[in-house]
């Protein structure tokens, strides 16, 4: 099963039907069979609730059924749905004026569709397909939430292991320092103590910086989580106003899928950077840059920064797509932070994608005033940063250079222009 359709069991795409008084029940089942849809006709409300527990893609019931004993059973099942689930429910209404039962049906905790009889075949087919499409999208969200939970567990495990190593290393250094203090003369003791303390401080700072590499992943999730929150708020407000449409939901779900996939990909990018077993793929540079830029464009808009992309369409690279995207992300974030730090009046970032001598070239030129001479030679050093201690780790540009030069046999360089700095990636 393709991931973009979600993964599900054989019973999870069934249409469960309860039409005890319907003369057209047989016709409806034949229509479902003609669509290639697995269905289950139930004779009683007890059987219906039992079948729902076994797995369901959509529910089809008659209006009057809601006034029978099934109401409590169905409400209990719907209330127990997980957060990702909103079971599609197709309610076949009797011909005539709207009833209170029909109005109450809209209050069910599910994706309710009201269809008035007599039902045309085309209408029935369209409603069922829409309901099952909605269910498949819910399975996609379920899969992605599961993947996210697994990624979080792996990240927590890595953090715990790093904490243990930091503690063990610190204890070893402390014991070594104590031994030297005991064995040395008073003057040598003072000198050795100062030297060892300095070494210990440097080691702890480096270990803290390594820890920040893990913490930076959670920082990169803040903006996507805000986006997901806004999407949920929009869906809730539109639902309360009664303005929800299929197109509206599809757009929001699609955006949420992109954000969740990016959050999951952030973990994969970090893992792949440390994992020597990688597979090279052929990818379009423009697609990677556009996708990466879309993830941080909100923060550029916050500072009124204008980002201009000038790109050739057919610039390809055979290499590690995720790592390349991470290198691009680090350069974009660095440009954004410089704009903020220097309070640039009209921030402008121009990204150019081209080819030179058979190699792809991507440049990032800003108008933030350039890099100071005493900083230029150390800009790609590990743990080097001009930001405040709580603003940067000095890891981003170092990792970008390692990705481009060590893992992709390219080059990453920087120079000053008349207006600012220009980073250049060649692969």
Residues 381 and 251 in one domain: no
Residues 76 and 155 in one domain: no
Model confidence at 416, pLDDT cuts 50, 70, 90, reads: very high
- pTM of this prediction? 0.41
What distance in Å separates the CA atoms of residue 127 and residue 273, rounded to the nearest whole number? Answer: 46
Question: 224, 263 in Cβ contact below 8 A?
Answer: yes
Looking at residues 131-155, what average pLDDT do you find? 91
Identify the CATH number of the domain in which residue 420 sits.
3.30.565.10
Looking at residues 255-280, what average pLDDT do you find? 70
Q: In what order do the strands lie in the sheet with 359-366?
A: 306-311, 348-356, 359-366, 421-426, 411-416
- SS3 of the chain: the string is CCHHHCCCCHHHHCEEEECCCCCCHHHHHHHHHHCCCCEEECCCHHHHHHHHHHCCCEEEEEHHHHHCCHHHHHHHHHHCCCCCCCCEEEEEECCCCCCHHHHHHCCCCCEEEEEECCCCHHHHHHHHHHHHHHHHHHHHHHHHHHHHHHHHHHHHHHHHHHHHHHHHHHHHHHHHHHHHHHHCCHHHHHHHHHHHHHHHHHHHHHHHHHHHHHHHHHHHCHHHHHHHHHHHHHHHHHHHHCCCCHHHHHHHHHHHHHHHHHHHHHHHHHHHHHCCCCCCEEEEHHHHHHHHHHHHHHHHHHCCCEEEEEECCCCEEEECHHHHHHHHHHHHHHHHHHHHHHCCCCCEEEEEEEEECCEEEEEEEECCCCCCHHHHCCCCCCCCCCCCCCCCCCCHHHHHHHHHHHHCCCEEEEEECCCCEEEEEEC
Question: 95, 117 in Cβ contact below 8 A?
Answer: yes
| Lowest mean pLDDT, pick from 168-172, 259-263, 339-343, 394-398 | 394-398
What distance in Å separates the CA atoms of residue 52 and residue 129, rounded to the nearest whole number? Answer: 19
Residues 360 and 387 in one domain: yes
Domain boundary among 98, 114, 134: 134
Closest-CA residue to 159 (of 193, 207, 114): 207
Domain-embedded: residue 377: yes
Residues 290 and 421 in one domain: yes
Domain-embedded: residue 3: no
Model confidence at 32, pLDDT cuts 50, 70, 90, reads: very high
What pLDDT does 338 receive?
92
Residues 269 and 322 in one domain: no
Residues 290 and 418 in one domain: yes
Model confidence at 181, pLDDT cuts 50, 70, 90, reads: confident
Domain-embedded: residue 6: no
CA 332 to chain centre: 18
- Cα-based distances in Å from 415 to 23, 68, 369, 396, 412: 79, 76, 12, 18, 11
Domain-embedded: residue 54: yes
Closest-CA residue to 58 (of 104, 8, 7, 12): 12
Residues 166 and 117 in one domain: no
Return the half-sphere exposure (C-beta side, CA atoms, 13 A cut-off) of residue 286: 12
Domain boundary among 273, 292, 326: 273
**Beta-carbon count within 10 A of 354 CB:** 14
- Supply 290's token pair: 């556009």
Domain-embedded: residue 1: no
Residues 164 and 254 in one domain: yes
Domain-embedded: residue 7: no
Residues 411 and 298 in one domain: yes
- For residue 205, the enclosing domain spans 143-273
Domain boundary among 241, 273, 305: 273
What distance in Å separates the CA atoms of residue 389 and residue 427, rounded to the nearest whole number? Answer: 33
Domain-embedded: residue 344: yes
| β-pair type (348-356, 306-311) | parallel
| Lowest mean pLDDT, pick from 130-144, 157-171, 192-206, 383-397 | 192-206
Question: 227, 295 in Cβ contact below 8 A?
Answer: no
Residues 175 and 54 in one domain: no
Query: Which tens digit of pLDDT belongs to each residue from 191-223?
Result: 787 567 444 433 443 343 344 345 445 556 777
Contacts of residue 16, Cβ cutoff 8 Å, sequence gap at least 6: 39, 40, 42, 48, 51, 52, 56, 58, 59, 60
Identify the CATH number of the domain in which residue 102 sits.
3.40.50.2300
What pLDDT does 205 receive?
35
The total number of structural domains in the chain stands at 3
pLDDT surpasses 80 at 323: yes
Phi-psi domain of 326 (left: phi exceeds 0; alpha: psi -120 through 50; beta: other): alpha
Instruction: State phi, psi for 89 to the nearest 5 degrees.
Output: -125, 120
Residues 406 and 283 in one domain: yes
What distance in Å separates the CA atoms of residue 396 and residue 384, rounded to the nearest whole number? Answer: 10
Domain-embedded: residue 303: yes
Looking at residues 101-115, what average pLDDT do you find? 85
Residues 229 and 155 in one domain: yes
Mean pLDDT of the chain: 83
pLDDT surpasses 80 at 120: yes
């Amino acid at each position: 099963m393709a991931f973009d359709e979600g993964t599900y069991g054989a019973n999870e795409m069934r249409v469960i039907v309860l039409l005890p008084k319907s003369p057209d029940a047989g016709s409806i089942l034949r229509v479902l069979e003609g669509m290639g849809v697995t269905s289950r006709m139930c004779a009683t409300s007890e059987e219906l609730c039992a079948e729902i527990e076994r797995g369901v893609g959509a529910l089809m019931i008659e209006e009057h059924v809601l006034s029978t004993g099934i109401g409590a059973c169905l409400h209990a099942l719907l209330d127990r749905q997980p957060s990702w689930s909103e079971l599609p429910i197709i309610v076949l209404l009797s011909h005539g004026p709207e009833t209170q039962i029909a109005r109450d049906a809209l209050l069910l905790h599910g994706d309710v569709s009201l269809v008035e009889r007599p039902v045309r075949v085309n209408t029935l087919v369209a409603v069922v397909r829409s309901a099952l499409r909605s269910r498949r999208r819910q399975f996609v969200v379920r899969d992605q939430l599961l993947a996210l939970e697994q990624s979080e567990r792996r990240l927590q495990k890595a953090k715990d292991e790093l904490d243990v190593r930091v503690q063990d290393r610190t204890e070893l250094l402390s014991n070594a320092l104590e031994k030297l203090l005991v064995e040395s003369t008073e003057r040598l003791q003072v000198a050795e103590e100062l030297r060892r303390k300095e070494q210990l401080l440097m080691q702890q700072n480096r270990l803290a910086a390594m820890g920040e590499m893990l913490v930076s992943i959670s920082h990169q999730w803040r903006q996507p989580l805000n986006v997901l929150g806004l999407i949920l708020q929009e869906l809730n407000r539109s639902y309360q106003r009664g303005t929800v449409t299929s197109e509206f939901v599809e757009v929001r779900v699609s955006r949420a899928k992109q954000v969740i996939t990016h959050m999951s990909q952030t973990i994969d990018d970090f893992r792949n950077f440390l994992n020597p077993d990688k597979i090279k793929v052929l990818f379009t540079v423009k697609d990677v840059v556009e996708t990466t830029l879309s993830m941080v464009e909100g923060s550029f808009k916050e500072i009124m920064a204008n980002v201009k992309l000038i790109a050739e369409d057919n610039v390809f690279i055979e290499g590690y797509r995720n790592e390349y995207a991470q290198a691009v992300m680090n350069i974009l974030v660095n440009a954004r932070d410089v704009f903020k730090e220097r309070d640039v009046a009209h921030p402008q970032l121009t990204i150019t994608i081209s080819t030179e001598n058979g190699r792809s070239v991507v440049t990032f030129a800003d108008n933030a005033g350039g890099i100071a001479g005493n900083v230029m030679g150390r800009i790609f050093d590990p743990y080097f940063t001009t930001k405040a201690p709580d603003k940067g780790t000095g890891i981003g540009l170092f990792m970008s250079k390692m990705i481009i030069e060590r893992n992709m046999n390219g080059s990453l360089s920087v120079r000053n222009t008349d207006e600012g700095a220009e980073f250049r990636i060649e692969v």
